Amino acid sequence: MRTRADIRPRRGSRSDMAAAEGGGARPDATVQRAELGPLLATALRPGESWYLVDSRWFKQWKKYVGFDSWDMFGAGDPGLFPGPIDNSGLFGDPETQSLKEHLIDELDYVLVPTEAWNKLVRWYGCIDGQQPIVRKVVEYGLFVKHYKVEVYLLELKLCESSDPDNVISCHFSKADTVATIEKKMRKLFNIPAEKETRLWNRYMSNTYEQLSKLDSTVQDAGLYDGQVVLIEVKNEDGTWPGQHFLAKGSGFVCNSYNCRDSASLSQPGLCGLSNLGNTCFMNSALQCLSNTPPLTDYFLEDKYEAEINQNNPLGMRGEIAEAYAELIKQIWSGRQSHVAPRMFKTQVGRFAPQFSGYQQQDSQELLAFLLDGLHEDLNRVKKKPYLELKDANGRPDSEVAKEAWENHRLRNDSIIVDIFHGLFKSTLVCPKCSKVSVTFDPFCYLTLPLPLRRDRLMEVTLVYADPQHRPVQYRVVVPMMGAISDLCESLSKLSGVPAENMVVTDVYNHRFHKIFQMDEGLNHIMPKDDIFVYEVCKSSEDGSDYVALSVYFREKTMRQSSNTSGTVLFGQPLLISVPKHKLTVDHLYSVVLEQISRYVKLPLAEEYPTTCPDKGTCNGSNGVVEGDIEEMEHQDGGQEGKEKLAEVDPCHSEGCMQIESARDPQPCKKQHFTFSLVNSSGTSEINSIVEGKILKLNAFSALAIDWDSDTRRLLFDEQEAQAFEKHGSMLQPQKKKAVVALRDCIELFTTMETLGEHDPWYCPNCKKHQQATKKFDLWSLPRILVVHLKRFSYSRYWRDKLDTVVEFPIRGLNMSEFVCDPRAGSYVYDLIAVSNHYGAMGVGHYTAYAKNKVNDKWYYFDDSSVSAASEDQIVTKAAYVLFYQRRNSEEHTAPSPPQEECDGMDTN
């Protein structure tokens, strides 16, 4: 089965291989570690070049040389020679070698500096035909400098204004200047140096903007991926032909926002926001804020002008507030059906480098930044006083809450605090001395956890021991935090194959990327992994032990230029069980031939050996895989095995000359393939196979069966080899997702919990860190309550989105029962906006529902499109951030004053 990209390897001559394996060309593991260690720790510097390396290859190199910290002796594993650098897993299209979308640093690739790359290439070489993936370090940020390797370049579509249909695509760095683009376009379109030119960008079908600042970077100019840039050449008579090509569109040019013809009036607030390239997250957040009446009225009435704080060191010189005000006025002018928030995005990118590019971001993270930025730009406190925090020390809650709120207002006083800020009560109790610590902290939005799913669905393919049985794809239910053994038990119930006879593998590029142990966590398996479960035997009734071997298919190819041979992997790898006392080439040949008999059709006249492996009754234990198998490590059983594997003869390329191919071990029978002992990824040979002897192979040693091209073409049925069947579990409709009420999330948020051992609290009484109990309560709530549903979860191996439907009320959300201030009034809220996220984490699309404050009707905002909506459309599994407005919102905007007779709730 061809699982992903097929990349042909580089095939060098035997002298090249010998040189590569010799001590001169590639130093030993100790020297490699010493030379690369400091280079990999190099800091990023603007303008330098760094190289991407597929993390799978890099992890194998680290194991080969003993680079990881757990390898305390630094011995490495000579059986894991990584072969030539192979980046094929990073390519979305192997032909153009364009990168897959949404690759993640450390998870999918590692970055190495130029000197480290050059050393790795000198020592190991690269797959033939693969171009190095080199990228520049670029600088982000205005005040805080932020450096990163620009993995994804921007594609711009370049054309002449006189011939806009002749488009040439070119890639640019975000750090390149407009002058760089102009220089490139002059060269592409053969424009003489003496000719005067000007550049225009087109970001709607009929809207152009002049790129007048040649020293502006691509990033600051707000150019986005796929944008069309035109170059205009001045006429001989000194005029510009601009009106000619602009007349083809609307004929309207605006230098900041994309302005439609002012004659087309629309309802104020019903104005779409153009997608500038993965900016739907920003558009969604902006539409929610735009439809927050008290904040929008504040800006439309120009109240912000008197409160801009240009000297606040925590602010942004008032520039975020001014850019936001300009955008809000455009949206609510009633003159445009949509605007392009380009200048606003540019300002945000200057102050928050994480939002400066055109990668998909999180609408809630942008919202948090924006509310904080607007607050600091509009903070009425010009000089913040120093305040010392006091502990509650048994004082009434109402007194401590009032003190905390007043202290907060002494340093933070803005329209954002007026509208969005509330107060938490946090209670910590020491488990040893019962010390109670109560604090009150302001909040701007409420992040609510969702009840976690207890299980997950996994799709796996079971490869049966019966060679005539096609593989079957199953959908199994496993515990979310379960182990590989749980997967096997679940699969066993559906298939009838005993769990102890299963080996779970991750297959990638025709090889075993990983063979899992029974006790490993399922969180190591990502949704995109191709998981194959093999039925194998461990021992039989006569007590003979079996050894499981990895078998890879390789095709022998000839290199015409040097007349040397090489190999390339193909097909779906096998796991075969063979009794240890029958580990001979003859027996292996018979076993493999039987295993592949379903899709390898021999000529009728030809008899092939009928010797079969001793079936017996499999009654092995759960110890399928002994030792710590990580990324297909070889298990070296005894000293003899170690000595054998120490005779490493790894190739510089994916395949080698076949040493044994010159002799025919069985002249009376035609051998359709030959064996080689290879490393775990099949990229190089470890040793030749000796005929007639018992082979000293250990668990999951890897063998390659090598075919010549003609034999493969004649006998190998590619279609049948890839064929599989679907079990009924794949066809059953998935059960309906559980529905959770918003109050369930609030109750979960306010539930007492015990702090983890890695997150203890320092008890001032005990004078040491303790695993205290912690409880959050709501003391006071703001006029506008922003509720963030925590749908995304992260771990080292797992990234997930919870697509649970949360039922939330459109009107009449009563929060009074969750407010612990006994003097609080009524907290009843009505929904005014929702930010939606569709799709998986890190990708997908953001939209918004919002209620127009002029006509009280609901609308759906999808980038530049605005359409009417009904209330029954709003509650979906996509709801991510909810905006609620409090009824009678002029009351209770601050905590209630203390009452002498009330001591509140100081310990819960």
Catalytic residues: 280, 845
Task: Dump strand ranges (E) for 667-783.
Answer: 674-678, 685-687, 702-708, 725-726, 739-741, 753-754, 761-763, 768-770, 773-780
- Alpha-carbon distance of 294 to 889, in angstroms, equals 10
Question: What 3-state DSSP class applies to 149?
Answer: strand
Give 559: exposed, middle or buried? Use CB within 10 Å, 0-12, 13-18, 19+: middle
- Minimal CA–CA distance to 100: which of 59, 54, 50, 131? 54
The gap from C-alpha 118 to its chain's centroid, in whole angstroms, comes to 28
- Report, in angstroms and rounded to the nearest whole number, the Rg of the chain calculated over CA atoms: 33
Give 225: exposed, middle or buried? Use CB within 10 Å, 0-12, 13-18, 19+: middle
Cβ pair 84, 654 in contact under 8 A: yes
- Minimal CA–CA distance to 64: which of 766, 630, 662, 852? 630
Cβ pair 455, 435 in contact under 8 A: no
Bin 509: left if φ > 0, else alpha if -120 < ψ < 50, else beta: left
Output the six-digit token pair for 138: 């670029």
- Minimal CA–CA distance to 230: which of 203, 256, 250? 203
- Alpha-carbon distance of 891 to 826, in angstroms, equals 9
In order of 504, 546, 610, 616, 617, the CA distances from 540 in angstroms are: 21, 8, 20, 5, 5
In order of 40, 66, 68, 515, 711, the CA distances from 76 in angstroms are: 18, 4, 9, 19, 38
In order of 418, 419, 752, 777, the CA distances from 443 in angstroms are: 12, 11, 19, 12
Cβ pair 266, 336 in contact under 8 A: yes
In order of 427, 755, 777, the CA distances from 430 in angstroms are: 10, 11, 18
- Alpha-carbon distance of 906 to 897, in angstroms, equals 16
Question: What 3-state DSSP class applies to 180?
Answer: helix
Cβ pair 306, 320 in contact under 8 A: no
What is the torsion angle, in degrees rounded to the nearest 10, for the CA atoms of residue 273, residue 276, residue 281 and residue 287? -10
Tell the residue number behind the tokens 């030993």, with chain if given. 28
Amino acid (1-letter code) at residue 897: P
DSSP 8-state symbol, 896: P
| Angle, in degrees to the nearest 10, between helices 293-300 and 280-290 | 80
Angle (CA) 349-353-358 rounded to 5° is 65
Q: Residue 833: beta bridge partners?
A: 850, 883
- Alpha-carbon distance of 337 to 331, in angstroms, equals 8
In order of 87, 93, 678, the CA distances from 100 in angstroms are: 11, 8, 29
